[in-house]
Amino acid sequence: MKVALPKDLKQDSELAKRSHAELCRQQRVFNARNRILGGDTQVWDVQVRDQRIKEATEKARHETFAAELRQNDKIRCILENREKRDKKCLCRAINDFQQNCQKPETRREFDLSDPLALRKELPARQSDSDFRNTVSGMQKFMGEDLNFWERKKFQEEQMREWSLQQHREWEKARADQNFAEDCHTQTRLKFDETARDLQKLESTTRKAVCAAVKEFNKNQAVESAERRKQEKRQEQEDNMAEISNLLRGNLLSENPQQAASSLGPHRVVPDRWKGMSQEQLEGIRLAQKQQIQEKLRLQEEARQRDLDCDRRRVQRAREEVLGERRQQRQRREQRRALDCSNLRLAEEQRLQKKYMNAICANSPTEDYFAQFNTRSR
């Protein structure tokens, strides 16, 4: 018996895998539709399937929204019916309350339209002291004063009480006036005494102040005179010292060291500087001459450099022109050689074609073309 080794199985599996891959490749390569369209139909199928899934999902979502809308409409209808029912119950309760608790008899203006108003009214006259017994009421006439004695007695008592009250008030006002006059007199005496004491104290204080001011002014005058004398003496001494310093100083003696600045040896103080010496002026003129000569030398060197640059530029331009002419001649020669080579090759190809046409006179058959495109490679 022939035993299948693992190595053989592996080779068989690889061969089968390559055969399957070759078949799949041939299906892709020899499929005219895919080759003409130039696209991946599997990817397109996946995209179409995804688009259909998306449309189905969108449709389901719209259906869900529609179901929610219908449910919301039902809830709104139920709430509107409930609201109408509540309004109806409220109106019924309001009507019941108005009929039971807001009767016409409880209104404030009911007495204007009460049908039993005449039965409930009071009689036209209850007694002589009734406040409704006016003159125009014709219920009480002149000469029918039945309470005359009582009213007169009450008036006499009232007059006596008024007289006693006025007398008491007059006595009280007189006592208050006397007390106020006494208080005013005592207050005026106290004020006069206090004013007199204050006047004495003021005069004494004024005298003391005047004496102190007089003594202070006297001392100030003495000190001012002494200070002026000292200032005058000090000013004279300062003037003498200044004159002496100026006579012996560097300003009038024109010492050049007195114009030296502390910022550096090349700096001077403008208000002390008397000008440069002859040696310094000669040094400056010599430095200027050297600078002029150096400048002329630099200008001459720059002019020579410019001339050399112009010469080199002209030489370089001449060399470039010669090089371009040489390249043009070489290109013309290469073009002539290429043309000769092309003519020779064309003649050889024409002769070879004529020879091949003479040898290969038979035309190809279907079997010749069927041997092509049998594999994907």
List, in order, residues 6 or more apart from 169 with CB less than 8 Å away. Answer: none
The pLDDT score that the predictor gives to residue 1 is: 47
The pLDDT score that the predictor gives to residue 194 is: 86
Could you give phi then psi for residue 275, rounded to 5 degrees?
105, 170
Rounded-to-integer distance, Cα 336 and Cα 342, Å: 10
Question: Side chain identity at 11, as an amino acid letter?
Answer: Q
Rounded-to-integer distance, Cα 32 and Cα 38, Å: 10
Percentage of the chain modeled with pLDDT above 70: 80
Query: What would the pLDDT profile of 251-271 be if each residue is shown by its tens digit?
Result: 565 666 666 666 766 676 766
Q: Which pLDDT band holds residue 53 (cuts at 50, 70, 90)?
A: very high
Cβ–Cβ under 8 Å, residues 129 and 147: yes
Q: Count how many Cα atoms sit within 13 Å of the Cα of residue 113 in the half-sphere of its side chain.
A: 7
Q: Which pLDDT band holds residue 25 (cuts at 50, 70, 90)?
A: confident
Rounded-to-integer distance, Cα 356 and Cα 350, Å: 10
* 3-state percent helix, strand, coil for the chain, nearest multiple of 5: 80, 0, 20
Rounded-to-integer distance, Cα 122 and Cα 119, Å: 8
Rounded-to-integer distance, Cα 303 and Cα 291, Å: 18
**Measured torsion, CA atoms of residues 338, 340, 346, 347, in degrees rounded to the nearest 10:** -160
pLDDT (average), residues 170-199: 88
Q: Which helix (H) or strand (E) holds 65?
A: helix 41-101
Query: What would the pLDDT profile of 323-351 be if each residue is shown by its tens digit?
Result: 999 999 999 999 999 999 999 999 998 88
Check residues 280 and 233 and name the one with the higher pLDDT.
Answer: 233
CA 39 to each of CA 42, 237, 343, 358, 359: distance values in angstroms, whole numbers, following the listed order: 9, 119, 47, 46, 45
The three-point CA angle 206-211-217 to 5° equals 120
pTM over 0.75: no
Cβ–Cβ under 8 Å, residues 34 and 41: yes
For the record, the structure tokens of 69 come out as 């809308």
Check residues 291 and 131 and name the one with the higher pLDDT.
Answer: 291
